[in-house]
Amino acid sequence: MGKLINRTHNERFFDEYAYFDQVLAERFNIESGGVEHYIKKMKECVVEARDVIPEFDTTLARFLKMKDRYSKLDKGHTSFEEFQGKDEDVVWISVFMQKLDADADPLSKYAKIDFKKKKTKNKSFMDKLKGALKK
């Protein structure tokens, strides 16, 4: 019974991840590898974004964990009958796709941040105070 449940969860995840990967690929106008591309884009702005987008690090960690799970299933390193997790990854993907549609995902949020604010966030408190007093 447990192996059947594991298989069902893993198959559902596998199918949902493949669809999610394609959705992201289409969003980036690339042939395939949407999840990998999203991860790459997140890593490019990780230093700036993690300070201004609270869910940035957890989102990146979830992407990496799901990519690893999918890869193990896809390459046969893990059997579909082995425990890999529950349907929470499937739910997370669904919620994330809603965020994509609303431009509320981490990369969309990052793109909306004023570049001037991106550069000034690293200033010390005294530098910010001096800048405010000059205005």
Per-residue model confidence as pLDDT tens digits over 68-99 = 999 999 998 989 998 877 789 999 999 999 99
Q: How far apart are CA 111 and CA 126, in angstroms?
A: 27
Place of tokens 């869910």: 55
**Residues recorded for the chain:** 135
Angle between helix 34-44 and helix 2-27 axes, rounded to 10 deg:
70
Q: Which two tokens stand for residue 90?
A: 């499937």
pLDDT band at 3 (very low <50, low <70, confident <90, very high): confident
Q: What is the pTM of this model?
A: 0.81
